């Protein structure tokens, strides 16, 4: 069956987030160093970006480097950063041809100068695009993000700009890195691991999860579309009953 043509484009997830996992194990299986897996992972990044843009996904977020990833061997961290610079430099033209805007979440100020420069150039050169937004999570973790948001809210309270009683979910949400994006509707994780690993903890409150055993470098467009088809089989109730949903209540989330 042609997976893509089975997708109901009137019921697409607006925002898909992906935890790209399994590069190291994939490389090990080939008797190669871990970085070989990361290099081959770029093909899967391209495949999923194209697969998402082709069906009309609005936001695609990729977990590319977590705050915990700094603890990996120095050689691997350096290679990942170099790969990032190289990939962004190579892909800007294709992003522009496909009207895709590149953005980032995370503490990017701590990235090595060359990586930060490449990222900023990539974002600047695609800022005018109005199609899909491709968001790279770089030096990102949810606990870092929520701690930072809390500090900012506390500072506004201290300055007398905000009363503690005025703090609600919207106040927190507006201080998150993702304040400009809708919450992910679907989260995909490759390589058989079934956990969130400090990724979008607040934002995934009502997200559907899809886990595939396929290692990231082997992920193809069909795997992305398979996840969308599975998503379309699910009923999202937002804490309500099925009957309420059938009566077309607007979810109060
Ligand atoms: C997880 O696999 C993967 C990463 C930490 C890095 C992901 C990076 C890429 C796919 C390359 C470049 C990306 C962009 C957006 C240009 P792992 O190393 O944790 O695998 P393992 O669990 O098998 O060890």
CATH of the domain at 68: 3.40.1180.10
| Banded pLDDT at 5 (limits 50, 70, 90) | very high
Chain mean pLDDT for the chain: 95
Residue of the nearest CA to atom 10 in ligand 1?
41
Q: CB–CB of 210/48 below 8 Å? A: no
Domain for residue 210, yes or no?
A: yes
Pick the catalytic residue: 21, 183, 185, 223? Answer: 21
For residue 140, report the phi and psi dihedrals to the nearest 5 degrees: -110, 145
Domain assignment present for residue 84? The answer is yes
User: Is 125 an annotated catalytic residue?
Assistant: no
Q: Is the pLDDT of residue 1 over 90?
A: no
Residue whose entry in the numeric block shows the structure tokens 């009207």: 99
Residue 163 placed within a domain:
no
Which of 23, 69, 129, 218 is flagged as catalytic?
69
Residue (of 70, 23, 58) closest to 43 by Cα position: 23
Reply yes or no on whether the pLDDT at 253 is more than 80.
no
152 domain residue, yes or no: no
Domain count, the chain: 1
Q: Provide the pLDDT for residue 250.
A: 55
For 37-89, write each residue's pLDDT tens digit. Answer: 999 999 999 999 999 999 999 999 999 999 999 999 999 999 999 999 999 99
Percent of the chain beyond pLDDT 70? Answer: 97
Question: Is the per-residue pLDDT at 4 higher than 80?
Answer: yes
The pLDDT value recorded for residue 243 is 81
CA 85 / ligand 1 centre spacing (Å): 15
d(CA 27, CA 36): 6
Q: Which of 20, 80, 122 best tests ligand 1's pocket when mutated (most atoms within 8 Å of CB)?
A: 20
**Domain that residue 59 falls in:** 11-141+183-248
Measured in Å, residue 56 CA sits from the centre of ligand 1 at 25
121 located within any domain: yes
């Amino acid at each position: 069956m042609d997976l893509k043509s089975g997708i109901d484009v009137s019921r697409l997830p607006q925002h898909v987030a992906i935890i790209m996992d399994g590069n190291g194990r994939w490389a090990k299986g080939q008797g190669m160093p871990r970085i070989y897996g990361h290099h081959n992972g770029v093909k899967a990044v391209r495949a999923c970006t194209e697969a998402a843009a082709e069906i009309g996904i609005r936001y695609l977020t990729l977990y590319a480097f977590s705050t915990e990833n700094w603890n990996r061997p120095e050689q691997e961290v350096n290679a990942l950063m170099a790969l990032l610079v190289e990939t962004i430099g190579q892909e800007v033209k294709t992003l522009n041809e496909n009207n895709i805007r590149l953005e980032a979440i995370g503490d990017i100020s701590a990235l090595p100068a060359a990586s930060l420069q490449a990222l900023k150039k990539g974002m600047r050169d695609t800022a005018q695009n109005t199609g899909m937004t491709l968001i790279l999570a770089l030096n990102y973790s949810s606990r870092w993000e929520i701690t930072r948001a809390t500090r900012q809210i506390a500072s506004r309270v201290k300055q007398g700009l905000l009363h503690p009683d005025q703090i609600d979910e919207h106040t927190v949400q507006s201080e998150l890195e993702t304040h400009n994006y809708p919450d992910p509707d679907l989260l995909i994780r490759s390589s058989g691991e079934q956990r969130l690993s400090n990724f979008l903890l607040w934002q995934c409150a009502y997200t559907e999860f899809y886990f595939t055993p396929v290692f990231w470098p082997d992920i193809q467009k069909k795997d992305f579309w398979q996840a969308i088809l599975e998503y379309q089989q699910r009923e999202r109730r937002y804490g309500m009953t099925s009957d309420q949903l059938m009566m077309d209540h607007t979810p109060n989330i």
